[in-house]
A and B are shown apart, each in its own frame.
Chain A
Amino acid sequence: EVQLVQSGAEVKKPGESLKISCKGSGYSFTSYWIGWVRQRPGKGLEWMGIIYPGDSNTRYSPSFQGQVTISADKSISTAYLQWSSLKASDTAMYYCVRHGLGGNYYMDVWGKGTTVTVSS
């Protein structure tokens, strides 16, 4: 079964750092782009950026460039999303997604999400 398994919920204080993970299984992890999608409480979906685990080629949405870092370790089929200094506005659900083949950018596999709460 193709799946993305995300790390558990996090509660952090403003200014702290955080790295959440997404482990792929059931498919060739290095052959598909992995992306991250943010959903703030009660709000819609926002695409943050993607990484190609095969060569770590990474692209960011301008809205998130410089705010987060996307990385991957292909040896353990895991992608990461990290912050160096969290803000209250980073409070959200974060989904990792697999982008399907063909250049369409559709997201055919979704993780269950990681809730990040930033509060003093």
Chain B
Amino acid sequence: QSVLTQPPSASGTPGQRVTISCSGSSSNIGSNTVNWYQQLPGTAPKLLIYSNNQRPSGVPDRFSGSKSGTSASLAISGLQSEDEADYYCAAWDDSLNVVVFGGGTKLTVL
């Protein structure tokens, strides 16, 4: 059971906007920034969003992140078939002294 809670699956059609939620607690999301990772099938994860809402160079602006209280969200607009992947949220946990991950959300593009 993961410390951060994500829905196991999400789906959308091409062009649609989808959001993936990530719920935590005061010791992780509530007091630290959230990062998101994208793992395409058969590949290593890749940093998608850091510090709640910052995109690394090369990440399309279709991807955006937000945080409020002890929850965070990843939004993908203009959904494309190549966005089909697993998405993980993560944050530092002040009580456990570790990086904690969500269980991952498998995004399917219908």
Could you say which residues of chain B place their CB within 8 Å of the CB of A106?
A: 33, 35, 47, 50-51, 90
Q: Which residues of B line the A interface, CB within 8 A?
A: 2, 32-33, 35, 37, 43-47, 50-51, 56, 88, 90-92, 96-104
Q: Binding site of A, secondary structure by majority: helix, strand, loop or mixed?
A: loop
Partner of B98, one of A62, A95, A102, A108: A62
A106 to B48 alpha-carbon distance, docked (Å): 10
A105 within 8 A of B: yes
Which 7 A-B pairs have CB atoms at the shortest separation, nearest pair first?
A47-B99, A106-B50, A106-B35, A61-B98, A110-B44, A44-B104, A45-B101
- Give the tally of cross-chain contacts (CB within 8 A): 66
| Beta-carbon contact of A100 and B50 below 8 Å | yes
Q: B31 to chain A: closest CB distance in Å?
A: 12
Could you say which residues of chain A place their CB within 8 Å of the CB of B102?
A: 44
| Beta-carbon contact of A45 and B44 below 8 Å | no
Q: Which residues of A line the B interface, CB within 8 A?
A: 35, 37, 44-47, 59, 61-63, 95, 100, 102, 104-108, 110-113
A45 to B100 alpha-carbon distance, docked (Å): 9
| Beta-carbon contact of A105 and B99 below 8 Å | yes
Cross-chain pairs A/B with CB under 8 angstroms, 30 sampled: A37-B45, A44-B103, A44-B104, A45-B45, A45-B104, A46-B101, A47-B90, A47-B100, A47-B101, A59-B97, A61-B98, A62-B96, A62-B98, A63-B98, A95-B45, A102-B51, A104-B32, A104-B51, A104-B92, A105-B35, A105-B90, A106-B51, A107-B37, A107-B47, A108-B47, A110-B44, A110-B46, A111-B44, A112-B44, A113-B44
